[in-house]
Amino acid sequence: MRIAFFTGAGISAESGIPTFRGKGGLWEKFKVEELATPEGFFRDPERVWRWYDMRRKAISEAQPNKAHRLIALIEREYRDVWVITQNVDMLHQRAGSEKVLELHGNIWRVRCLGCGAVYYEFRTPLPEYPPKCRECGGMLRPDVVWFGEPLPVDVLQKSWEIARSSDIFVVIGTSALVYPAAQLPYVAKEYGAKVVEINPESTPVSSVADVVLRKKASEGMEEFYSMLKAQAF
Ligand code: APR
């Protein structure tokens, strides 16, 4: 039985990391176009890096929560289990998940605009803004996907393949508004998966979900886990 967990910012909310939309969301306080677009970066790389490093510091002080940990437990118990995440915080990996597909990149990875080097840079605060490439001294950017940028093709293809072949597709903590990632629950549904949504609010996915757990991620994952154990699917 193949199980996929498609996650968004809401799964990290209980770890103290703000979501993007809804009350207290990042896009309420900050301007997307200034901080999460290539244009915004090239207009003011120092400003964008200070914002990302503030998020990196908050993430470094956060812990994976019960929802992340239950997903990692299910991967250990059921084996054919994948995480397809829109999140860049690496909390799934820190909780012990191994098969993790990062659709929007990773806030701990950097990419050099000069020589193209890609590597992990875990220091926060960073030594300077913008940070410089350790290989060539060129300017680094966060290795994340900004609005208007393509998603990593290999990750997208693998995610499509997993969605098409899942028996259970669990959608957790996403507003399901940002494409192409948001297409995945519909792909899973179309290919016969049981779609489960875990979210305290309704989203466009709610109307196609077979099971809706209108709860926070941790409580919803506990309920999902007991349903799985009871072979409810
Ligand atoms: N548990 C579960 N879900 C929660 C919780 C919680 N404790 N708190 C909030 N949520 C839900 C909200 O109801 C909302 O549906 O999480 C969702 C968060 O939605 P967004 O903030 O839009 O985050 P996400 O769906 O991941 O955004 C997608 O948009 O800005 C880009 O690249 C960014 O990857 C991000 C993408």
Classify strands 3-7 and 168-172 as parallel, antiparallel or unpaired: parallel
Q: pTM for the whole thing?
A: 0.98
From residue 82, alpha-carbon distances to 74, 103, 162, 166 in Å are 10, 13, 8, 9
How far apart CA 85 and CA 101 sit, in angstroms, is 6
How far apart CA 135 and CA 119 sit, in angstroms, is 10
Q: Is 174 helix (H, G, I), strand (E, B) or coil?
A: coil
Which residue has the CA at smallest separation from atom 26 of ligand 1? 8
Which residue has the CA at smallest separation from atom 28 of ligand 1? 178
Q: What is the pLDDT along the chain (233 residues), one digit of tens a residue?
A: 999 999 999 999 999 999 999 889 999 989 998 999 999 999 999 999 999 999 999 999 999 999 999 999 999 999 999 999 999 999 999 999 999 999 999 999 999 999 999 999 999 999 999 999 999 999 999 999 999 999 999 999 999 999 999 999 999 999 999 999 999 999 999 999 999 999 999 999 999 999 999 999 999 999 999 999 999 98
Task: Answer whether 104 contacts ligand 1 (Cβ < 6 A).
Answer: yes
From residue 70, alpha-carbon distances to 50, 78, 102, 130 in Å are 33, 12, 19, 37
Task: Answer whether 8 contacts ligand 1 (Cβ < 6 A).
Answer: yes
Annotation marks residue 92 as catalytic = no
Q: Domains plus CATH for the chain?
A: 1-16+64-104+145-233 (3.40.50.1220)
Say if residues 109 and 126 touch (Cβ distance below 8 Å). no
- Specify the amino acid at residue 49: W
* Catalytic member of 104, 109, 141, 216: 104
- Specify the amino acid at residue 143: D
Percent of the chain that is helix, strand, coil (3-state, to 5) = 40, 20, 40
Say if residues 173 and 217 touch (Cβ distance below 8 Å). yes
Distance 116 CA to ligand 1 centre (A): 31
How far apart CA 20 and CA 109 sit, in angstroms, is 20
- Terminal Cα-to-Cα distance of the chain (whole angstroms): 10
How far apart CA 8 and CA 126 sit, in angstroms, is 26
Q: Give the count of beta carbons closer than 10 Å to the beta carbon of residue 163.
A: 23
For the record, the structure tokens of 196 come out as 């489960």
How far apart CA 132 and CA 126 sit, in angstroms, is 10
